[in-house]
Homo-oligomer: A and B are copies of this chain.
Amino acid sequence: MAFDPATLRYDDRGLIPAIAQDHATGEVLMMAWMNAGAVAQTLATGRVTYWSRSRRAYWVKGESSGHVQRLVEMRVDCDRDCLLVLVEQTGPACHTNRRSCFYSALRDGAEVEILQPEA
């Protein structure tokens, strides 16, 4: 059946979490939020677009940094309240210039940095 963003389950702010995963390596890059408009825009443009909770505005990933995410495939979970977006990531996904936002690992009870900022 044709997909309608209105069929997703948004929270009381009208948002749904979206996990971005590198389509080639499987690396989980980041998690951010979309509203129905961002879902529709991502699908229409092929450029992954989130909703910035702090700026209260659409956030076309990489619009200012150039670190864009091209949509490869969007997936919906069983409860329809979470999205997985497979992407082709240009440059680092994280605003700290690291490939992934998940660069802190808990090992032996301590937090260790497992990814360095890119040059």
Which residues on A are within 8 Å of B, measured CB to CB?
1-3, 17, 19, 21, 25-28, 30-31, 43, 73-79, 82, 84, 94-96, 98, 101-107, 109-111, 114
Contact = CB atoms under 8 A, between A and B. Distances in A.
Given A3-B109, A3-B111, A30 B101 contact: no
A77 B64 CA distance: 21
Contacts of A21: 28
A105 B94 CA distance: 25
A10 to B, nearest CB: 14
Number of copies: 2
Contact of A111 (B1, B26, B30): B1
B110 A3 contact: yes
A97 to B, nearest CB: 10
A43 B75 CA distance: 29
Given A19-B31, A28-B28, 16 more contacts: A1-B111, A3-B109, A19-B19, A21-B28, A25-B26, A26-B26, A30-B77, A31-B77, A73-B107, A75-B104, A76-B105, A76-B106, A77-B104, A78-B103, A82-B101, A82-B102
